Structure 1
Amino acid sequence: MSQKKILFYDAKPYDQASFEVANAAYRFDFKFLRSHLTEDTAVIAKGYDAICLFVNDHLTASIADILVENTISIVALRCAGYNNIDLHAAYKRLHVVRVPSYSPYAVAEHATALMLALNRKTHKAYYRTRDNNFTINGLMGFDMRGKTAGVIGTGQIGKVLMQILHGFGMTILAYDKFPDRAFAEQYGVRYVELDELYAESDIISLHCPLTKETYHLINEQTINKMKPTVMLINTGRGQLIDSKALVDALRDKRVGAAGLDVYEEESDYFFEDFSTEIVDDDVLARLISFPNVLLTSHQAYFTQEALSQIATTTLRNLQEYFDGKPLPNEICYQCGDTCRKKTEGRCF
């Protein structure tokens, strides 16, 4: 049997390295492209057996048409989120598989790092001491112990974060459509409605998926329900926060600080080097300019362990498809989340 050919879009050197290591067990034939999936680049997929996408590759209805025309039948996402995929256009035409879990520790620990850095201003202290400035004026923080953290979304990442914050001695409030009462009892977590979480939390961290219901979950109205000193942390999806509303709230001192690893228009900038250019996204530029905003470029997942797990799961998803086996990590328009159809083990 000839080697199956996999085309990677938006591939970086670290993607290539991790997938080539994992490929020792599969021996697929890889082609890595730096370019994103677009209508122009979709035609390159002709002659390949599958394509592999990342978070900023958008599979639209028109692109789905091109892929199907070029006999692509499976799309492998090397990420957990799939809001960049038009599942309606893909349904019964393209199998779409994802990596539902890679390292909840990586993302939860990065969220914690953002909290600690913003609180104790270690990023500012770093630059001061490099300039031989050893003053500590303006670097005062607060004890995490005894403060209240609100966690929105209590899946694997949210649970790991709550365990970390429990270790800090924080009071933890949580919101989830499907609360885990046993976990809550074990770690002293109290599930509440969103309005109560907004009103009582000193720090709010977002770990829910991006859906129609959670789009701009943090907006002008919800921000007005929060403490003016609240710290907002987002390591989920950029569109969970209305960025313009956040800018206005930061300007008006209705938000104390924001730690963002994602941004709703990030696909134009994140993962690329614009250090010699001017950022022409006014909202992004304004966010970066605030001294109480710490922005990282979608790196929360970026650990050795996570990259290894992403590569291994992605290639296993593809091998299961080529072998005609059930696809436990398939997503579809009907199911919305991981496809649960067990009749034939596949969405269609």
Structure 2
Amino acid sequence: MKGKYWISGRKLRLYRYGGEKMNISVLDIATLGDDLSFESVLRLGKVKFYDLTLKEDVIDRIKDAEVVVINKVKLNSSNLRCAKKLKLICITATGFDNVDIDYCREHGIAVCNVAGYSTDSVVQLTVAMAFSLATHLSVYDNYVKSQKYTQSGIFNCIKPVFREISGLVWGVVGLGNIGGKVARIAKTMGADVIAYKRTPTKEFNCVDLDTLCRKSDIITVHTPLNDETYHLINEKRLAQMKKNVILINVARGDVFDEEAVTKAVLDEKIGALGIDVYSTEPMQKDSPYQKLLKKDNVIFTPHMAWGAIDSRQRCIDEVAKNIESFIEGGNRSRIV
């Protein structure tokens, strides 16, 4: 990892657990980028960095580790049973569905996640997608770059027609940190915000999901993935939506039925689509979304909503605080 992950020149204070330096394995550091400082982690023990870790390499890389740091690597009974020294798993994300929590609980392995570190970054992309799709920015951009504007003989172009956000109904599905902030920004822009939340809040007009689908001009989705939210946006709910609705998923890929969503776009049943997350990542060659790659009313991004450099550095530093807390007997950000 020489030259990619830096520390300052000052001498590092190494933490000890039971009198020994802790063995820390970071299994998929490449998913976090090569532009971060890992000083906050390096001072906590003996750290081994791996760019990526394939399924067949997991056991070898965790068998002697006391702390394992992962982003998307899957840890389950088949590999965790070989990690006899493992005391703590730190996830560099909010979601923890890639870790067998029941196994960890049964075998005394602590698990920590990092919540809220990327809120502003995800909100930023959500709003950017909504504004871009609502204003047809890609169409207008292409109009100029293709020389059509130069050849037009007129000072402007105002087709396709677009509307102001003010006065539109913006439906927010999920009112956690991210959804709540998106809703506040939408409200500031003059949108009529309605929201779907299992536990309604007085801050926003909360409605059932079917009502939200029927009334909204823009729908942004911010739910975790679980049994209740799997294919939450499906053929039935797509059929309820306005023909010109803008639909955006920055949550989890499987919250959308990708086949149904693709068909709705191709059949012009919805107006525009913004996608940052996929049922299988990266997007596969047989993904239904492949059929939409040339559509002007669709924006795809590669699961990067969380990835502003500020949020990624914050994530690493929060992981370090979780490890330090564990060493000192605390339970900061503990799931188990």
TM bucket (normalised to shorter chain) is: 0.7 to 0.9
Q: How far apart are the structure 1 equivalents of 2:293 and 2:27?
A: 28
Hey, what does 2:307 align to over in structure 1? 302
Hey, what does 1:225 align to over in structure 2? 240
Hey, what does 1:320 align to over in structure 2? 325
Matches within 5 A, 1:42-57: 42-54=59-71, 56-57=72-73
Hey, what does 1:140 align to over in structure 2? 161
Report the CA distance between 1:137 and its aligned residue.
6.7
Report the CA distance between 1:142 and its aligned residue.
1.8
2:67 counterpart of 1:62 = no
**What SS is found at the alignment partner of 1:12?**
helix
Hey, what does 1:341 align to over in structure 2? none
Does 42-51 or 72-81 show the bigger shift? 42-51
Hey, what does 1:120 align to over in structure 2? 135
Hey, what does 2:125 align to over in structure 1? 110
Q: Is the 8 A contact 1:16 1:32 kept in 2?
A: no
Hey, what does 1:165 align to over in structure 2? 186
Q: Is the 8 A contact 1:220 1:246 kept in 2?
A: yes
Query: CA 1:208–1:43 in structure 2 vs 1: closer, same or farther (change >3 Å)?
Result: same
Q: Is the 8 A contact 1:11 1:32 kept in 2?
A: yes
Q: How far apart are the structure 1 equivalents of 2:148 and 2:26?
A: 46
Structure 1, residues 113-144: CA drift from partner, whole Å, max 9, x if none?
A: 01111122223444443444426475432211
**What SS is found at the alignment partner of 2:240?**
coil
How many residue pairs were aligned?
311
Aligned partner letter, 2:184: Q
Hey, what does 1:329 align to over in structure 2? 333
Report the CA distance between 1:156 and its aligned residue.
1.0
Q: Is the 8 A contact 2:218 2:245 kept in 1?
A: yes
TM-score, normalised with respect to structure 1 = 0.82
For structure 1, the 5+ residue unaligned runs are: 271-278, 332-346
Structure 1, residues 290-317: CA drift from partner, whole Å, max 9, x if none?
A: 3321010111111232112211111111
Q: How far apart are the structure 2 equivalents of 1:219 and 1:330?
A: 34
Q: How far apart are the structure 1 equivalents of 2:287 and 2:332?
A: 42
Hey, what does 2:9 align to over in structure 1? none
Report the CA distance between 1:170 and its aligned residue.
0.2
Does 255-264 or 29-38 show the bigger shift? 29-38
Report the CA distance between 1:159 and its aligned residue.
1.2
Report the CA distance between 1:157 and its aligned residue.
0.8
Query: CA 1:82–1:37 in structure 2 vs 1: closer, same or farther (change >3 Å)?
Result: farther
Q: Is the 8 A contact 1:39 1:62 kept in 2?
A: no
2:21 counterpart of 1:3 = yes
**What SS is found at the alignment partner of 1:91?**
helix
For structure 2, the 5+ residue unaligned runs are: 1-15
Report the CA distance between 1:18 and its aligned residue.
2.5
Does 83-92 or 114-123 show the bigger shift? 83-92
Q: How far apart are the structure 2 equivalents of 1:15 and 1:42?
A: 24
Q: Is the 8 A contact 1:9 1:37 kept in 2?
A: no
Report the CA distance between 1:165 and its aligned residue.
0.4
TM-score, normalised with respect to structure 2 = 0.85
Query: CA 1:249–1:13 in structure 2 vs 1: closer, same or farther (change >3 Å)?
Result: closer
**What SS is found at the alignment partner of 1:118?**
helix
**What SS is found at the alignment partner of 1:123?**
helix
Aligned partner letter, 1:83: D
Q: Is the 8 A contact 2:126 2:220 kept in 1?
A: yes
Q: Is the 8 A contact 2:90 2:113 kept in 1?
A: yes
Aligned partner letter, 2:111: V
Hey, what does 2:92 align to over in structure 1? 78
2:46 counterpart of 1:29 = yes
Taking only the aligned residue pairs, the percentage that are identical comes to 26
Query: CA 1:50–1:139 in structure 2 vs 1: closer, same or farther (change >3 Å)?
Result: farther
Q: How far apart are the structure 1 equivalents of 2:287 and 2:211?
A: 33
Aligned partner letter, 2:122: V
Report the CA distance between 1:15 and its aligned residue.
4.1
Query: CA 1:14–1:241 in structure 2 vs 1: closer, same or farther (change >3 Å)?
Result: closer
Q: How far apart are the structure 2 equivalents of 1:190 and 1:58?
A: 39
Q: How far apart are the structure 2 equivalents of 1:133 and 1:5?
A: 61
